[in-house]
Amino acid sequence: MDSKRVPLFINRFSLSPRTAIGIQTLRLMGPHRDWLHFHWWSSSLRQLDPRSILFENALLSRYSFLHNPALMSVCERLGISRWSGDDLRPSHSKRIAQYRDRVSSVYLAPLNESDAGRCLELVKLVGAPFVLHLWDVLDGDIKRGALRELVDRADGVFCVSQPLLNDVSSIRGDAELLSFSRDASTVAATAREEGPLVVVMHGNISSYTEGLDDLEDAIALVELRGLKVEVRFVGSPKILRQTNAGIRKRVNALGFQPNQAELDRALSGAQVAFLPGPKLDPRHDLRSRYSIPSRVLDYLAVGLPVVGTVHKDSATRVFLHELGLDSATACTTGKEIAGWLLRLSGREVWEEQSACSRQAFSLLQHQEPPAEKLKRALDRIA
């Protein structure tokens, strides 16, 4: 590979620690001496790194309520957006020329059909070989449209979950798994001694709200048995409000944690982690069919027992089963959740389940680092 050329990473998100994709993209960039990054959504109005280039109007990029397809269509028609559908406007597509001679290979990570269309446009303008990494398919179909074109044209295809890999493999027999990762934690959760049982949630729970009502029912049941429960949310209060679930009124929002160490410290103050989904039937819900919330690794890293309302046939459930975390993660009712909360309020069961979480994290740590696997693929096609 030409030593002056660098890999280009393309996805919708900026490299902000406020999004799971932003965090994981930075980790995937880690082994490379240098890189470029194109994106069209941002979590701030400032450029986080001069190598990360925004291809969208800054205000449209920053405010999520403007990402509504109907509003974006209006902004595109008015010429406010730098895009017109999947096409970058000519005045902005010319910017690509300055990067063509710098790019050795490209990493694409679309999350839906719209992302796939923009990824296709950008990679065609750059004119470099690419690998495709499917984290989610939030809408669209891998067997048609821009998603299918990316699968067909890619020099390598990676999937984050086994069910997604199974479906992609019917088109691309050489597709492989490439999951997420994180570093080990320097702090660990401990069993409840006295006082309330602390249950914690973290991340984008607004996309997995179906289990929150079950958790509220469970708390009512255990408090009838004399066990007080405190629910914490590690993240922005705005995300909590977006859930529009009754339980949000009793949740203590701890706010966004600026780094991994602070996040781990906040999580380790609880005794139970709760996963409110994906709960819906994967035959009808794409998040259930393909997605795995990466926050699971944060829970495992600090040794938290995980209780959840994860659908038994979901991609998340397949992932948890392979790690030996079957017991408490597939609750279907508040009564089942309540039973686990009562058991985990005692030291013996808590220590058993905490050990399961630590063992699961250890299993993941002994796998080949995703960033190294991706680097080999990008170097090979460069």
% of the chain exceeding 70 in pLDDT: 99
Cβ neighbours for 201, distance < 8 A, ≥ 6 positions apart = 231, 232, 233, 234, 235, 251, 273, 274, 276
Distance CA 351, CA 349 (A): 5
Is the alpha carbon torsion for 6, 11, 12, 16 positive or negative?
A: negative
CATH 3.90.420.10 fits 6-179+367-381, yes or no: no
Which of 156-160, 271-275, 325-329 has the least mean pLDDT? Answer: 325-329
The answer to whether 6-179+367-381 and 197-365 have equal CATH topology is yes
Distance CA 214, CA 308 (A): 10
Distance CA 287, CA 136 (A): 7
Report domain extents, the chain.
6-179+367-381, 197-365
Which range has the top average pLDDT, 249-258, 323-332, 369-378?
369-378
CB 177 within 8 A of CB 162: yes
Torsion of Cα atoms, 78 then 79 then 82 then 83, to 10°: 60
Indicate if the pLDDT at residue 170 is higher than 60.
yes
Residue 99: how many CB atoms within 10 A of its CB?
Answer: 17
Which of 222-231, 237-246, 353-362 has the least mean pLDDT? Answer: 237-246
Tokens of 78: 């008015």
Q: CA 12, 172, 367: angle at the middle one, nearest 5?
A: 70
Residue with tokens 């289990």: 211
Indicate if the pLDDT at residue 182 is higher than 90.
yes
**197-365: CATH topology:** Rossmann fold (3.40.50)
Q: How do residues 63-88 score in pLDDT, each as one tens digit?
A: 888 888 889 999 999 999 999 989 99
**What per-residue confidence (pLDDT) applies to 3?**
63
**What per-residue confidence (pLDDT) applies to 102?**
95
Distance CA 364, CA 340 (A): 25
Element containing residue 229 per DSSP (H, E) = strand 229-234
- The neighbouring-strand residues paired with 298 are none
Cβ neighbours for 202, distance < 8 A, ≥ 6 positions apart = 233, 234, 235, 263, 267, 273, 295, 298, 299
Amino acid symbol at 313: D
- Report residue 119's pLDDT band, with 50, 70 and 90 as the boundaries: very high
Cis peptide before 370 (omega within 30 of 0): no
